[in-house]
Amino acid sequence: MNKIFLITGPAGVGKSTISKLIAQNLDKSVLIEGDDIYHLVVGGYVSHWKEGNHLKLFWENCKSLIKNSIINGYDVVFNYILNEKQVEDIKKSFSECEIKFVCLMVDETTIVKRDKLRPEDCQMGERALVLLNEMRSHNFAENNILDTSKMSAEETYMEILSNSQYIL
């Protein structure tokens, strides 16, 4: 049975770092960075939070990539800022797969510290705290939330790989 790892959390929490580590430690895997897929649109690009965005195309592309990877025998690691409806849609669309869903969270001090470690052009500043609070408002099951404030990247990816509590 193929596996899908859905990794979400606020900007700067470490989604890309953890997703890459998970993918590197699977026998046969594909890493799909949601931001990279969203930015495939160049002409007519609209930010995802604005009217006229291309989220419909984005989700069709993501689900096609996941499907093609699964058909070809690859496990998939997908990261993006997800909401409950999007997680449910992926769960329904890929019910034949084992899906692990993890919302990475940290405390305010840690998000500010991690944000400052990012390349300067990728730093979010105050927006990182706003997004952290927005993510806290989601109604994700407690067993799918992983506070990584005091965890290393290695401890985090090992926890996700080894713990069945994250299976949807």
pLDDT per residue as tens digits for the range 2-32: 999 999 998 888 899 999 999 999 999 999 9
Q: What does pTM read for this prediction?
A: 0.90
3-state helix/strand/coil string of the chain: CCEEEEEECCCCCCHHHHHHHHHHCCCCEEEEEHHHHHCCCCCCCCCCCCCCCCHHHHHHHHHHHHHHHHHCCCEEEEECCCCHHHHHHHHHHCCCCEEEEEEEECCHHHHHHHHHHCCHHHCCCHHHHHHHHHHHCCCCCHHHEEECCCCCHHHHHHHHHHCHHHEC
Q: Give the residue with greater pLDDT, 142 vs 12.
A: 142
Does the domain at 3-166 match CATH 3.40.50.300? Answer given as yes
pLDDT per residue as tens digits for the range 86-140: 999 999 999 999 999 999 999 989 988 888 888 888 888 888 888 888 888 888 9
Does 40 have pLDDT greater than 90? no
Residue 158: pLDDT band by 50, 70, 90 thresholds?
very high
- Where do the structural domains in the chain lie, given as residue ranges? 3-166
